[in-house]
Structure 1
Amino acid sequence: MASQALPVRGARLGKRVTPGLSPAAWRETDGEAVRAAVLLLPGGRASSTRRRSPVAAAAMVPLALRMVRAAGRGEGLAVHVVHYRFRGWNGGNDHPAEDARWAVDEVVRRYGDVPVSLVGMDMGARAALRAAGHPAVTCAVAIAPWLPDAHEPEPVKQLIGRHVLIVHGTNDDSTDPGLSYRLAERVKKVNRDVCRFEVHTAGHQLRDHREEVAALASDFVLGNLLGRSFARPVADALAAPPPLGLRMPLASGFGRSLRAR
């Protein structure tokens, strides 16, 4: 039986996120030179050739706005949500990871040789880790990563030389926090610049801790891209040996002083 051909469509970048504007009014540029870029990779499904999920993409917007506001004007930070070709990972096709690599190439084409951070949730977190080997990528953030317990372990060599942050709720029954811990252990053996935070009692959506997770991700990304000092818990987690630096608890209220920005 002949295999069904995949729909022909391309990945694309969402418009550059700008604070204070409605999504329909986001502009590609506001006149400032871009010094660094963040690509946000939404969640998805294990297998699906349907178009990308607008709901999953919309879920990344609060995180995008948090990063832009925390960076402030004049810092030249460009933040985009990546819109995949397909909703699913689709086995060995690794479609979201391919789309993430394309998106980094597109950022370099638009803005020049700027450092890039990949930030993903769920399936997008796996894509961020997979695509982090791109030469322009300096750091990757994986929030509640979907990591199937497959026969072949996830690759880690592409993460050498990158800063890596993994965040997972301890009560996540959709993606296994045990798998993300074991992955973090393997990454730590080849790359000391990795840390993992646990959100105690939180499920997959991290509903009661979204502000803290967004603040943590912003602190990590802006520290890497803009040369800012890391918050004390992040610096401690990066410096601590396993298992301490890979089971760092995310404190309630983390980043509260930044919320007014």
Structure 2
Amino acid sequence: MTVDGRGSGAVRTGALVPGRVPSRVRAAVLFLHGGRADSLATSRPWHAAALRMRPFEGAVAAALPDDDVLLARVRYRVRGWNGGAADPLHDAEEALADLARSVGEVPVVLVGHSMGGRAALRVAGTPSVSGVLALAPWCPDGEPVAQLRGRDLVVLHGDRDRVTDPVASRSFVERAGAAGARAEFRNVPGGDHAMLRRAGFWHRTAGSVVAGLVPR
């Protein structure tokens, strides 16, 4: 699959899976789906966590009808975070590097759910990243926030989430704001971790938030 971001070139397909690929690229949105705390099983595109992000990709595409914003997703090697290995973080770093080599240093907005939200928040210090939308992110105690300085951050979290903690997400947003991020927490009343309750609200809100985060 080719893209004419700087006149010619091809989108690399290691950790980067292109979705909508315009002929010229002024910005990009990169999606990072959820996973597991620990698993070395191979990550597959038909796993439920990956499929759950597809409606969000569609909502963002509808909210960004411009043909100059590239949409893509991160391909994980394995399903888990795996402690200090932080496997999806390295996949996200590789995807961002592939993107930069393909289309140049365009601003990138990251959209991550659960484990993918943790990876997106961690990798936000990459110079090309301008903003992050984290959906029900996994924010353990002590997660770093300094890398978000100068970035736009929006966190959506349902108050019925029993997998990741909305209170921890709110605390993370407060710490990120104190560290210099333009950070906002939005509660989703009745929202669960899979974002199936009030799914339409999740999708519409994600689309509008990302449209506002992508630099004009």
* TM-score (norm. length: structure 1): 0.73
Contact 2:163/2:193, CA 8 A, preserved across alignment: yes
Alignment match, 1:94: 86
1:134 aligns with one of 110, 126, 139? 126
Residue by residue over 1:159-209, the C-alpha shift from the partner in whole angstroms, topping out at 9 and shown as x without a partner, is: 001000111011111111111111111111122511011011222112132
Determine the C-alpha separation between the residues in 2 that align with 1:165 and 1:147. 14
1:204 aligns with one of 175, 189, 193? 193
Alignment match, 2:15: 12
Q: Cα distance 1:109–1:172, how it changes in 2: closer, same or farther (>3 A)?
A: same
Number of residue pairs aligned between Structure 1 and Structure 2: 202
Measure how far apart 1:93 and its partner are: 1.1
Measure how far apart 1:11 and its partner are: 5.1
Contact 1:40/1:64, CA 8 A, preserved across alignment: yes
Determine the C-alpha separation between the residues in 1 that align with 2:159 and 2:117. 17
* 2:116 partner SS: helix
Structure 2: state its 5+ residue gaps.
Answer: 1-12
Q: Does 1:144 align with 2:147?
A: no
Contact 2:136/2:193, CA 8 A, preserved across alignment: yes
Contact 2:14/2:98, CA 8 A, preserved across alignment: no
Measure how far apart 1:220 and its partner are: 2.3
Contact 1:60/1:81, CA 8 A, preserved across alignment: no
Structure 1: state its 5+ residue gaps.
Answer: 1-9, 18-28, 228-261
Contact 1:117/1:138, CA 8 A, preserved across alignment: yes
* 2:155 partner SS: strand
Q: Cα distance 1:168–1:206, how it changes in 2: closer, same or farther (>3 A)?
A: same
Q: Does 1:46 align with 2:37?
A: yes
If asked which structure has higher relative contact order (CA below 8 Å, sep 6+), I would say: 2
Contact 1:11/1:82, CA 8 A, preserved across alignment: no
Contact 1:11/1:85, CA 8 A, preserved across alignment: no
Which structure is larger by alpha-carbon Rg, 1 or 2?
A: 1
Measure how far apart 1:109 and its partner are: 0.9
* TM-score (norm. length: structure 2): 0.88
Measure how far apart 1:70 and its partner are: 1.6
AA at the equivalent of 2:188: V
Residue by residue over 1:47-79, the C-alpha shift from the partner in whole angstroms, topping out at 9 and shown as x without a partner, is: 1111114322221111112111221143x1111
Q: Does 1:107 align with 2:85?
A: no
Alignment match, 1:3: none
AA at the equivalent of 1:57: A
Measure how far apart 1:146 and its partner are: 1.4
* 1:196 partner SS: strand
Alignment match, 2:6: none
Residue by residue over 1:76-128, the C-alpha shift from the partner in whole angstroms, topping out at 9 and shown as x without a partner, is: 11111111011100101111111111111111111112100111001000000
Measure how far apart 1:211 and its partner are: 2.1
Q: Once superposed, which parts of structure 1, at least 4 consecutive aligned residues long, lie more than 4 Å away?
A: none
> What value does the CA root-mean-square deviation take over the aligned residues?
1.6
Alignment match, 1:246: none
Identity, % of aligned positions = 39
Measure how far apart 1:147 and its partner are: 2.3
